[in-house]
A and B are shown apart, each in its own frame.
Chain A
Amino acid sequence: EAGVTQFPSHSVIEKGQTVTLRCDPISGHDNLYWYRRVMGKEIKFLLHFVKESKQDESGMPNNRFLAERTGGTYSTLKVQPAELEDSGVYFCASSQPHTWNTEAFFGQGTRLTVV
């Protein structure tokens, strides 16, 4: 069974440009999460989808970030326009429905560098 897959693995963009990160969850996983680790900081929650619906986006830093999950399958996270402080590693995770302590499976992350 394929795990959580994230594209690209690395991205280097200039300040002011737009970048779109993609996450393909494990098939059948209704829950999809985005997390971020900026340099020297802890991994922080960004948002949570259940199927195509945003359940919680309280961790999104500002309105330059837009997450979508059309059709309840893969998800994208767009940063527009990117700023230097957006640099970091963006993780996606997915889990099966029901209980909260169901294991979340993480992707390998996308390393974003804004220069």
Chain B
Amino acid sequence: AQSVTQLDSHVSVSEGTPVLLRCNYSSSYSPSLFWYVQHPNKGLQLLLKYTSAATLVKGINGFEAEFKKSETSFHLTKPSAHMSDAAEYFCVVSESANDYKLSFGAGTTVTVRA
């Protein structure tokens, strides 16, 4: 079985400062991991994904995430927050090659202060 824990339900940062969204997972297999973002009144958009290649994954809009197997973590970071980064972020896991089901974390809402 797989599960995802997002350690913060809400994160508030000032514009121009770093963003860190924490995610831990548990999985019976070698998982694939994703970060999705949902802006208000928009669909879920894929930010980045890890699929057993490089452990440091770069995504869109300056985001990146590092897969750490020993810590079962997949934290999302961005060096400098922008007002447009205000949204809800979801850490997602999908298990083996035949498992198409995505398991979502509870979500982290990011607020960016001017």
In terms of DSSP, what is the predominant structure of the interface of chain B? loop
A104–B98 Cα gap in the complex (Å)?
Answer: 15
Binding site for B on A (CB under 8 A): 3-4, 9, 31, 33, 35, 41-45, 48, 55-56, 59, 91, 93, 95, 99-101, 103-109
CB closest chain-A residue, reference B98: A100
User: Chain B residues with Cβ under 8 A from A103's Cβ?
Assistant: 46, 49
Q: Which of B43, B101, B104 contacts A107 (CB 8 A)?
A: B43
Q: Shortest beta-carbon distance, A101 to chain B, in Å?
A: 5
Q: Shortest beta-carbon distance, A77 to chain B, in Å?
A: 16
Q: Shortest beta-carbon distance, B106 to chain A, in Å?
A: 5
Q: Which of A55, A99, A101, A109 contacts B43 (CB 8 A)?
A: A109
Binding site for A on B (CB under 8 A): 32, 36, 41-46, 49, 51, 90, 94, 96-107
Q: Decide yes or no: A48 and B100 within 8 Å by CB, A4-B43, A43-B90, A101-B94 being known contacts.
A: yes
Q: Which of A44, A100, A104 contacts B97 (CB 8 A)?
A: A100
A100–B100 CB distance below 8 A: yes
A42–B104 CB distance below 8 A: yes
CB closest chain-A residue, reference B105: A42
Given A42-B107, A103-B49, 19 further pairs, Cβ under 8 A: A35-B102, A41-B106, A42-B104, A43-B104, A44-B104, A45-B103, A95-B100, A100-B32, A100-B97, A100-B98, A100-B99, A101-B49, A103-B46, A104-B46, A105-B43, A106-B43, A107-B43, A108-B41, A108-B43
